[in-house]
Structure 1
Amino acid sequence: MARSREFDPDAALQSALELFWRRGYEATSVADLVEHLGIGRASLYATFGSKHELYLKALDRYGQAQNPLLTRELSPPGPVLPAVRRLVRRFAAEAAADASREQGCLVTNTAVELAPHDAASAGRVRQSWDGLETLLHSALVRAQAQGELSRDRDPLALARMLLVLMQGLRVVGKAAADPARVRDAAEQALALLD
């Protein structure tokens, strides 16, 4: 008869996500995970595979939690550009906040730490950014159809610019102690929507 697991894999995955998010992939050892999750090394490997596989599962979970929030933010009834502006300003505020500075965004952290040399991580980052770009593009197309955005603007190019800006805000916010830097950048980019 097979032994039943003595821990909740879902709770352990969430706990691993939080540890990776706080410390990063390289700074989190398997011993750290075993201690933080309160499970044995064998259970960790049997349930999640390698540390890398666990990280990818945690990254997937992070994306699954973020995507519906972004969809809701960019899909309000009525005018669309105020929602786009709120989203960009939220990214800037989070990037400038002391509490966010340490953790940042798990996807952005992965882009900086792992994506340059890890194809699986790079794929997850691309998937996340493609999704955000698609949401922004759809919102800007709706804004254009509703007369909020000039017909001479390219919604796809604007969506890409906003994506790059938003990710850049997160990177700069992690290192910069001057919140005005990210707020000013966000406002200058948003002026392009006028």
Structure 2
Amino acid sequence: MARTKEFDPDAALRSALELFWRRGYEATSMADLVEHLGIGRASIYATFGNKRELYLKALDRYAEHRDAALLAELSAPGPALPAVRGVVRRFAAESTAEHSRLAGCFVTNTAAELAPHDQAAARRVELSWGHIETLLHSALVRAQAQGELPAGRDPQGLARMLLVFFQGARVVGKASADPGRVRDAAEQMLTLLD
């Protein structure tokens, strides 16, 4: 008869995500995970696989939750351009908020730490960025169709520009103690939507 798990795998994955997000992949040891999750090494391996597999599952979880929230923001009924502006300002605020600034974005952190030499991590980063770009593009196309965005603007180019801004804002916000740097850049970015 198979033993039942003595821990909640979903809660353990959330806990692993928190630790990886705060410390990064390389700086998190298996011993750190055992201590932080409060479960044995064998249970971690049996449920999630090795450290890399656990990290990738945590990254998937992060992207699922973050992308769902972004979808809800950008696809709400009504005018689309205020939603896009709200997302830009939210990213800027989150990038400079003291409680989240030092952690940065888990996808951005993965892009910098693992993507250059880990194909599975790089694929997940590209999928996440592609999804964000698609959500932004759809909202901007809708804004243009509703007359909120001038006809001469390129929704695809703007979506890519915003994606790159979001990633850069996360890096600058994490490394800089000057929140005005990101906020001012966000406001300048928004003038391109006029």
TM-score, with length taken from structure 1: 0.97
Residue identity in the other structure for 2:119: A
Unaligned runs of 5+ in 2: none
Report the equivalent of 1:106: 106
Report the equivalent of 1:21: 21
Q: Distance in 1 between matches of 2:62 and 2:37?
A: 17
1:30-53 per-residue CA deviation (whole Å, 9 max, x = no partner) reads 000011111111111111111000
Give the secondary structure class of the aligned counterpart of 1:103: coil
Unaligned runs of 5+ in 1: none
Percent identity among equivalent residues? Answer: 75
Report the equivalent of 2:158: 158
How many Å apart are 1:28 and its aligned residue? 0.5
Q: Distance in 2 between matches of 1:47 and 1:109?
A: 25
C-alpha RMSD over aligned residues: 0.9
1:77-130 per-residue CA deviation (whole Å, 9 max, x = no partner) reads 221111100100000011111111121111111111111111111111111110
Report the equivalent of 1:130: 130
1:7-66 per-residue CA deviation (whole Å, 9 max, x = no partner) reads 111111111111111111111100000111111111111111110000000111111111
Residue identity in the other structure for 1:44: I
Give the secondary structure class of the aligned counterpart of 2:192: helix
TM-score, with length taken from structure 2: 0.97
Report the equivalent of 1:58: 58
Report the equivalent of 1:174: 174
Report the equivalent of 1:80: 80
Q: Distance in 2 between matches of 1:125 and 1:94?
A: 20
